[in-house]
Amino acid sequence: MKQARKDIVFGADLIAGFPTETDEMFENTLSLVDECDLTYLHVFPYSPRPGTPAARMPQVNGRIIRERAARLRAAGAVRLERFLERQTGTICSALTETETTARSEHFAPIELQSEGLPGAIVNVKITGTSNDKLQGEMVQ
């Protein structure tokens, strides 16, 4: 059994369709997801707030904003899935949140196959993935 890699995992908040965003600017943002190996994305479409400087700038079409947000979310889902799959077969340190859930050192949610004490730091053997979560069992 291999120990979990001591990778650093990054996340980012991304705004799709900020005023004056061009196709090229958006493609740069999209490529940044892969280039920086971003694992956790929080993507939201830009929406103007009255009285702000951005609300007075030329706006991007709402349909384009929604399409760009969807593409960013899809890219984020692929990156997260790849990260989670790489964890299968490793042992990681995790914090139990409930009797049957935990969070890895990389903030990945883990569904435990056995019950633990909430608030404990435990070693977990990652046995697979399901629904954007790791599956694992506690080990000594």
Assess whether 66 and 93 both reside in one domain.
no
What is the three-class DSSP state of 59? coil
Buried/exposed code over 106-130 (b: 16+ C-beta within 10 A; e: otherwise): bebebbbeeebeeeeebebbbeebe
Q: Averaged in consecutive runs of 10 residues, what is the pLDDT profile of the chain (140 residues)?
A: 70 97 98 95 96 96 98 97 95 96 96 93 96 95
Domain of 65, in residue numbers: 9-86
pLDDT of residue 116: 86
Query: What is the per-residue pLDDT for 7?
Result: 74
Residue 139 confidence (pLDDT) = 95
99 in the same domain as 43: no
Is the domain of 20 the same as that of 72?
yes
**Tally of domains in the chain:** 2
- Specify the CATH number for the domain of residue 97: 2.40.50.140
Are the C-beta atoms of residues 65 and 85 closer than 8 Å to each other?
A: no
Specify burial of residue 6 (Cβ count, 10 A radius: 0-12, 13-18, 19+).
Answer: exposed
Residue 1 lies in a domain: no
| pLDDT at residue number 8 | 85
Strand partners, 56: none
Q: Are residues 80 and 103 in the same domain?
A: no
Maximum alpha-carbon separation in the chain: 59
- Grouping H, G, I as helix, E, B as strand and the rest as coil, residue 21 is coil
